[in-house]
Structure formats: structure tokens, C-alpha cells
Chain A
Amino acid sequence: MKSNKKVCLFAGAGGALGEMFCRMWGAQYDIVAVLRSKTPQIVTQHQWWVDPLMPNAPLTENRSGVYAIQADLTEESERRRVVEVTLARFDRIDILVNAAAVCHWAPMLNGRDLLENAPQHFETNVLLPLRLSALIAEYFWRDRTVENRNYNRSIVNISSTSGVYIYPGVGQSIYSASKAALNYLSMHMGDEFSQLGVRVNALAPTSFPSLIPTEMAAEGIRRLAESDANGRILILDVIGERWV
């Protein structure tokens, strides 16, 4: 089904942020929600709402659904499938949200837990956003510089305030390091993807929904996607928002 809406590929849509983004902006964008095993409470081609007391009644909540693809994005073949299916269905990709993440907190000096999980952090939190972005550039954004600029196409990498500040004593070291790496990567991506007319920014929210509303983070993604910022980091925390 093709429409005039912008097409947003949301990688890692199974979490709370993906669920909120799909709920808030499902009517504004054609969203492709990439999920692994967690399935958010959103309407897709595979799931919808029913009233248990009137199971055949049409519900207004079912009107704006997203298109879901279940995939393990750490596999290259799966990434290619996601991009190919998205382009086959919607003809274009205007926004890429890299929200897939690993978050495992453990102490450095007590067992091997942290070290065993470290490669997965960097693979998912740092390399995956780069790999997926480069793949979309290869499949679609390449040779469309003017069109990309006209559509204000962009990438939003979901980072964390843990990639900007140090929160000692809670075992965040590797997670924090991976998000810091993602921040620097995002700024470099902003530089290099600008050749294609594609902007790249990072959103660095603090914990949601415990410290800030999840809605605030979901709105932050939309604002970055609709802005003209490039190579920037937008911090969202209890103080408010500010740019790096």
C-alpha cells in the first residue's frame, strides 16, 4: 500500500520507545516496525485489537496500524530482507530510527558476565546502526542526493544520557561505552552521509518512563527527523532538552 506519508523504518520497535512512537505517529508516517521476539502493543498486519464481549465489532483503534517485520538484525541476510521488503512495499525509506539495543549492566571485577556481554553491546548498539544505515544507502539513498534533501531524509540513532554522563556504581560501563561510541559515530555519520543528502543525529534520553515520559522520547525522535539538524546529539533528561 503506497501513500504520500513519509516512510519510517524503525529498527528495534519491540521496546517501550518503539511502541510509543508507533502509537503516537502511526497516523503521520508509514512505519515499518522491525521486531525481534518482543511484540509491542500496537496494531500491525499480524495483530489488532478486539473487544472480547463483541469480537466482531469494528474498532477505531485498528485504523492506523504499522507494518511489522520480524527479523534478527544482527544477521546480514535479515538486514537485507528488511530493507528489500520495506522498499518493495513502500518504494522508499525517508527516516531510519536505530533503536535496537542491548543493555546489560554488570560489575567489571566480579565474574565474567560483563566481558561475555561486551561484544554483543558493541555489535548491536554501535555496529548495527552503521551497518543498517550503510545498507539503506547502498540500496536506496545512493545516487538520490537531491531527492534525499527534498524529502529531508534522515537517520536518528537512539543513544542514552549514559553515553554522555558517567553514572557510577551501577555497572553501566560497557553499555555506557557503547552509547558514547554511538554518539561519536553519529557525528561522523552526519559528516559522511551529508554527501548523500541524508542527515544523521542521535537522541540521548535518560531513563524512561521512570525519569522522563516515554512520550517525550518518542516526540524527540520525530523532532529530530523533521528538523534540519545534522551531526548533533539531543539530550533529554529531567532538566529538559539540550544539544551537544
Chain B
Amino acid sequence: MPADSSYVPSVAHVLENRRWQCCTRPFPHFVARDVFTRQFYGELDAAYAGLMARGMSEDNDPSRFSRNISNYDAYSMAFDWGIPSPFRIFLSREWHDILASLAGIPATGDVTGGFHHHRNGSKSGQIHNDLNPGWFVDSQYPGAVNLSRNDLCEYSTGEMHREGYSVHESVRALAVLFFLHNPPWRESDGGETGLYEDASQPVDQPTKTVPPVNNTLFVFECRPNSFHSFIENRNGPRNSMIMWLHRPKSDVIQRWGVDAIVEWGGKTHG
């Protein structure tokens, strides 16, 4: 729960575009362009620039973009309740519930996420589905989203760093990418998110691509077949915000079986 009470606008007030594209292939997802009003997008862009101005670290440093994801050629910075205020909208219960309702998922309120920066020439990722588990400290604040707290409990393993908290495991249900603070995108620039029908497809031969066009939102349900990957950016950096909503583990087991859950050993993010 936020320590301060920074103003978070109503989602309805900052949404510019209420026509989002619902797509079924190669797996269910949503794409929306020009999502936020010009003014609010400008605030997000400026806040992102402020995060970038802290510099990049080659070692894990939670206070700035750093190389902290194995097998993923990007710098990232995880959400915490201290993120610049425009981004707090992504941690609002309203945003969470709108997305959960849109995708029709039984979301738990558990949320993790952060910011990704791919330098120009970053390598393509590996094709994966994001159907991964996540560990959370039990929420103390019903009605708010429950943000992962790596300082208390390791998100990927459940390992406790402090006594006195109870934890639970849930599973990623909805991945949400928002592109911002990027140079104008052209087709030959790369840096798209590739969508695949099969995990064995060559990463540079996706079934569909979602380009990193500013103020574009890409949302997909994490399923056994939600195969996707970052594709090498050849002409400029790629910047994005990424977050995941979660669902009960029991729901995943009932729907796809326990073997569908992809444990973290050595897998990549993105």
C-alpha cells in the first residue's frame, strides 16, 4: 500500500481511446493505440525520462535501471510504491479491475511489474509464455492491489527475508505492456514484441508483431500457448512499462493442469 497519498487520476479521465482491439490470434490479446490523453501520456513520458536520468547499472540496483534479469538483454527496474506519481495509476485497483474484467480473469489483486529499457541492438529474447508463479506477502490492505515485495519475500521463490509475514503463491494471469519514451518507430527498426503460435518458431519469424509505438498498450492473458518474445531492436532503444496481474494457482491447475505452470529455473522474462 502506498505510504503517501499522491493523487491518482481516475482511469476514465485519462483514457483517450476507448476502442481497444480484441484479438484472438495467435492467442487472446488486446492492443490499444493512443491509450492516454496527450497530457497524461506527457506526464508518463516525463516521469520515465526522470527514471532514465538516474543512469544504468550493470549490477543489480533497485533504485535505477540495471541488469537484473538473467538471459534477458535489457535493463529493468521493478515497481515499488515509491514510483513517480503518474505511474501510480498502473498500481490502482481501478486499473487492475478494468483489465481483469476486460480479459475475464479471476484476478487476485496481486501485481508485479516494472520498467524495461532495451538499448539499441539488444538481442532477441527466447520465446516463452509467462505462465509463471509469483509469491506475495498476504495483503494488509483489502481494496488496494497487492504489490510484490522482494524486500520481504522473493517473488520467484517465496523465500522470506523477514519474519512475521504470511505469504501465498499465485500465478501470472495477465501481462500488460505499455510503450513509452521511444523514438518514432518504423517497420525496419525492430524492437517489436513477437507473438507465436508455437514455441519452436524462429524468433524472427513471428505470427504477429506488436510494434513499440508510444502510448500503445499490449495486454495478453498468460496461458500455455501465449508464446511471445522481444525481437532485436536495430535502430534505437525500446522502452516499456510491464506489469502482471495474477490469478489463484488453483484456477490454473483446474484450467490447464499443474504441469502448465512454468517454474522459474533458468527461464527468461519479457
Please determine whether A47 and B21 come into contact, CB atoms closer than 8 angstroms: yes
CA separation between A64 and B227, bound complex, in Å? Answer: 30
Let me know if B209 is at the binding interface, CB within 8 A: yes
List of A residues within 8 angstroms of B101 by Cβ: 55
Contact B18 A52 (CB under 8 A): yes
> Which segment of A5-13, A38-46, A89-97, A230-238 sits at the interface?
A38-46
Q: A50-B30, A50-B102, A55-B101 are in contact. Are A41 and B21 (CB under 8 A)?
A: yes
Q: A-B contact count, CB below 8 Å?
A: 54
A52 touches B33 (CB 8 A): no
Contacts of A147 in B (CB 8 A): none
Q: In the complex, which of the residues A39, A53, A61 contacts B15, with contact meaning CB atoms closer than 8 Å?
A: A53
CA distance A49 to B15 in the complex (A): 15
Interface size class of A (residues with CB under 8 A): 10 to 19
Contacting pair B15 A59 (CB below 8 A): no
**Known contacts A46-B23, A46-B25: A51-B18 contact under CB 8 Å:** yes
- Chain B residues with Cβ below 8 Å from A104 are 188
Q: B98 contacts A53, CB within 8 Å?
A: yes
Q: Among residues 1 to 43 in chain B, which have CB atoms less than 8 Å away from a CB atom of chain A?
A: 11-12, 15, 18-25, 30-33
Q: How far is the CA of A53 from the CA of B206 in the complex (A)?
A: 31
Task: Flag if A37 contacts B15 (CB, 8 Å).
Answer: no
Q: How far is the CB of B155 from chain A (nearest CB, A)?
A: 27
Tell yes or no: B161 within 8 A of A by CB. no
List which A32-77 residues lie within 8 A (CB) of chain B: 37-39, 41, 46-53, 55, 59, 61, 70
Assuming the contacts A49-B19, A52-B15, A53-B18, asked whether A39 and B98 have C-beta atoms less than 8 A apart, the reply is no
User: How many residues from B make CB contacts under 8 Å with A?
Assistant: 24
Q: Which residues of B contact A46 (CB under 8 A)?
A: 23-25
B157 located at the interface, meaning its Cβ lies under 8 Å from any Cβ of chain A in the complex:
no
B207 on interface, CB distance cutoff 8 Å = yes
Q: Chain A contacts of B32 at CB under 8 A?
A: 52
CA distance A39 to B23 in the complex (A): 10
If A41-B33, A55-B101, A55-B102 touch, whether A49 touches B21 (CB-CB below 8 Å) is yes
- The reply to whether the CB of B208 lies closer than 8 angstroms to some CB of chain A is yes
Q: Which residues of B contact A59 (CB under 8 A)?
A: 19
Smallest Cβ distance from B41 to chain A, in angstroms? 16
Bound complex: CA of A53 vs CA of B21, how far in Å? Answer: 13
Question: Within 8 Å CB of B33, what residues of A?
Answer: 41
Query: Given contacts A52-B15, A53-B18, is CB(A47)–CB(B102) below 8 Å?
Result: no
Against B, the Cβ 8 Å flags (1 = close, 0 = not) of A102-120 are 0010000000000000000
Q: Are B98 and A70 neighbours in the complex by a CB distance under 8 Å?
A: no
Chain B: minimal CB distance from A242 (Å): 29
In the bound complex, what is the Cα–Cα distance between A49 and B102 (angstroms)?
12
Chain A to chain B contacts (Cβ below 8 Å), 6 pairs? A41-B31, A41-B33, A47-B25, A53-B18, A53-B98, A55-B102
Interface residues of A (CB under 8 A from B): 37-39, 41, 46-53, 55, 59, 61, 70, 104
Given A39-B208, A46-B25, A47-B25, 7 extra CB contacts under 8 A: A37-B206, A38-B209, A47-B22, A47-B23, A49-B21, A52-B30, A53-B18
Q: Which 6 A-B pairs have the closest CB atoms?
A: A47-B23, A49-B19, A50-B22, A55-B102, A46-B25, A46-B24
